[in-house]
Amino acid sequence: MNKTGPSHSLRYTAASLLERVEAGQAFSHLLLHHELAGKAWSREDAGLLTEIVYGTLRRQNTLDYVLGVFVNKPLDRLDVWVRVLLRMSVYQMRYLDRVPDHAVVDEAVKIAKQRGNKGVSGFVNGVLRSLQRKGFPDFSAISDTGERLAVEYSHPAWMLQEWKAAYGEETALRIAEANNVTPKTNVRVSPEAELEDVQEMLEQEGIQTTRGTIAEKALIVEKGNVLVTETYQNGYITVQDESSMKAGEALRIEKNMEILDACAAPGGKSTDAAERTGPGGSVAAHDLSAKKLTQIKEQAARLRLENIETAAGDARQLTTTFPARTFDRVLVDAPCSGLGVIRKKPEQKWAKKAQDFERLPEIQLEILNEAVSMLRFNGRIVFSTCTIRPEENEQVWEAFLHRHPELSPDKELTDKLNILEIEHFSSEYGWCTILPHEYGTDGFFIAAAVKNNQEETEGA
């Protein structure tokens, strides 16, 4: 890759990507995927670029506190590109031992000269040299405990407070720590292949893997990019987090069943269900976004699955698309705040406030009330989210069960899923929450119930 000038440098690219994220133009994971797929980055450079972008976003609160000591005006008054350039430079100086501080400063100044003018480059140089000389400020100087923890663990104070109320302070901080660790890619192995055989195939392509922690047919990628392998292209694996795979296990699909995935995008659970039910069964992948359904079709084609049909529409109006009591299994992977996947989408910490999620429980309950009418007697419904907020999880599920006495919650859910080490679950109501620090997976909520062989109660 040509690196004759700052415009072609790895750090220039990192700053440009961070600027676009800050401006709300795109998500970090999509920008990185596009960048890495479009240029011939070496494995080492691709790794460093990814680390700088994600690391800067993960530690943003901490970095802003440090910069606040050395910048004599509010950071939001700086141009966006200057702000992200300073953040990523401080991140490298604080968290990346392999990068010498002087190299970080020199590169930042070069970028500032190209993007701005002599005054801007002098400002950037002055801030970073002062940090080099004086060292990093001590967080103990922050008198407010909540604010100090927010800076130290680099999460919004309101978020830590929510988790403290739900799980206790120790667990809240362990969740935050887990969110600041670089996640490893998980893949689901096709039921047509043996897990050990797929491991060997990947190893021959330079991909190192270990066995999954909690999912039946999961591998954890320790080194390498699986998306460029023949093993992936030939349909032996699908990228999916282990905790998400557990939702598929919770459905307890048997061969030749008919399954509805009511909120199907991005499609990992739909393809999992299609593999489980086999060619004699079917999966209706339903989602509000027609564009995302196209992506599901592409994944189905890669996996050579011919038993998935897609349908676009609002999951609160399923009866306009499907007849009642059509499916043996119904999955509602509902819209949610996504606070269980912060480690993969770190900018979400800073983009949202608690009040942004106020309508989600109502929407989730509406979807569940509609989805249950799709279920045959003795059928099984699973509700899942990728958040760890009780307001969007167990509170919604328990309200749903109270409205539908024809449903019997799965009281043995955690036993069946073999996730006995989790701390947050209810046998009575058939739900469990997997927290990020427990198994090194995404935070995830799963609940399950069976529809009794009787008419629904009027008004249910």
Please pick, among 93, 386, 417, 447, the residue that the annotation labels catalytic. 386
99: three-class secondary structure by DSSP: coil
3-class DSSP string for 264-311: CCCCHHHHHHHHHHCCCCEEEEEECCHHHHHHHHHHHHHCCCCCEEEE
What gap in Å lies between CA 187 and CA 195, rounded to an integer? Answer: 11
Query: Are 160 and 150 in contact, with CB atoms under 8 Å apart?
Result: yes
Long-range CB contacts (within 8 A, 24+) of 362-365: 363/316, 363/334, 363/335, 364/332, 364/334, 364/335, 364/336, 364/392, 364/396, 365/396, 365/399, 365/400
Inter-residue contact 318 to 286 (CB < 8 Å):
yes
Q: Which residues are annotated as a binding site for S-adenosyl-L-methionine?
A: 263-269, 287, 314, 333
> What angle is formed at CA 327 by the lines to CA 321 and CA 329, rounded to 5 degrees?
125
Query: What is the maximal distance between C-alpha atoms in the chain?
Result: 77
Q: Which two tokens stand for residue 116?
A: 């701005």
Provide the CB-side half-sphere exposure for 273 (13 A, CA).
Answer: 33
Cα separation, 89 vs 82, whole angstroms: 11
Cα(333)–Cα(315) distance, rounded to whole angstroms?
A: 11
SS3 260: strand
Amino acid identity at 124: V
Distance CA 76, CA 81 (A): 11
Residue 386 annotated among the catalytic residues of the structure: yes
- DSSP SS3 for 94: helix
Separation of alpha carbons 62 and 108, rounded Å = 19
| Residue stretches of the annotated binding site | 263-269, 287, 314, 333
The values of phi and psi at residue 96, to 5°, are: -115, 95
List active site positions.
Answer: 386
